[in-house]
Amino acid sequence: MSTAAPTGPGDVIEHVNGNIQHGRKVQEFLALIEQRAQDSGIRPHLLTLQELQEDQAPLVADRLGLAFVEEPNIRPGSRNALFYDTAVFRPDPQWVPYVEGVRHRPATARLSMVDPDTGDLSRRKLSVASIHGNFGNPAARGDQLRWLLSNMVKDGRLGFVSGDWNSWPQGRAPLTMDRVADRAYALDRSVLGDDGVFRPDDQADRMLTYRHMVWVGGHAATALGQSGADRPTTGHGPDKEQQRIPEQDLPPAGLGPIDRTYVTGELLSALISAEVLATPEVQAISDHLPEVTRWDRRALWAVMDAQVKTVRH
């Protein structure tokens, strides 16, 4: 938990993650963000978005007053993008973005933080990624993540990785997909074990936690007692009936979200809250629910300006 409670909106950094279903209702999504900012006095400083279409990233950046980085898909449309407030974060001009020829290339940046008092840049940088796991290939999902972790979140570096993983967290995946009506979906979300049995995919969560990164929503729900921070983010759309998991196949702790944010454990000292927005109005915007996390700016600065020796492999 944050070491000191923020004293006002200016002390809070807000992050929003969301898959905006093929960019169809990006205007409604922006209206939602603007209304929340008006109501709370807190505007987003960092966004990780998936499935934006051609020319939508500049629209989002202009409306919200943010800089952005985007990565085009290897076919037109459906791109990942991340957005940041230049009053809070500054990009590392030497960072080389993701170049491997995979579908849904992650949008990546390495960001320094701006001292809220002096304007100095932090000693450490935050490796940020907006990722969309390949929907139909668990091996490709694993390859995407392995590249990110090996190149962006080396020992001693700070990571902030958020997106649509197309897989579940450990212990929160279906017990089986054998009774799911949509068999293409069941296969897309499953991995084949050495014993010849298909099991629901949780490999991204396993890899991230093996690297000592932490699922923010899960931490907020269990360690901070924030109910609903770990709720499902998919399955609410009108065309999802064939993909529903029968009740007898749900895990004891409940189905976890497909859309999640993971951070290096050090950053949790600055975490204020995590929330999955789930009103009917939000559900109508996309088949994925957005997640909002909030961070204590001064506590985050303390982590990012610490003198830490990093290791190059």
Listed range (3-7, 194-198, 253-257, 291-295) with the worst mean pLDDT? 3-7
Q: Sort 44 into a burial class: Cβ within 10 Å, 0-12 / 13-18 / 19+.
A: buried
Report whether pLDDT(4) > 60. no
Report whether pLDDT(313) > 80. no
Tally of CB atoms within 10 A around 230: 25
Segments of the chain assigned E as strands: 12-19, 44-52, 67-71, 79-84, 89-91, 107-114, 121-132, 158-164, 190-192, 198-200, 213-215, 259-264, 271-276, 291-296
CA distance 9 to 17: 20
- Grouping H, G, I as helix, E, B as strand and the rest as coil, residue 90 is strand
**Which residue shows structure tokens 């008006």?**
38
Question: Quick one: pLDDT at residue 239?
Answer: 81
- Grouping H, G, I as helix, E, B as strand and the rest as coil, residue 267 is helix
Residues in the chain: 313
* pLDDT tens digits along 219-274: 999 999 999 999 999 998 778 899 999 999 999 999 999 999 999 999 999 999 99
- Helices 138-152 and 203-210: crossing angle, nearest 10°? 20
* pLDDT tens digits along 73-126: 776 678 999 999 999 999 999 998 766 666 778 999 999 999 988 999 999 999
Instruction: Enter the tokens of residue 244.
Output: 């529903």
Q: How many CA atoms lie within 13 A of 76 on its CB side?
A: 2
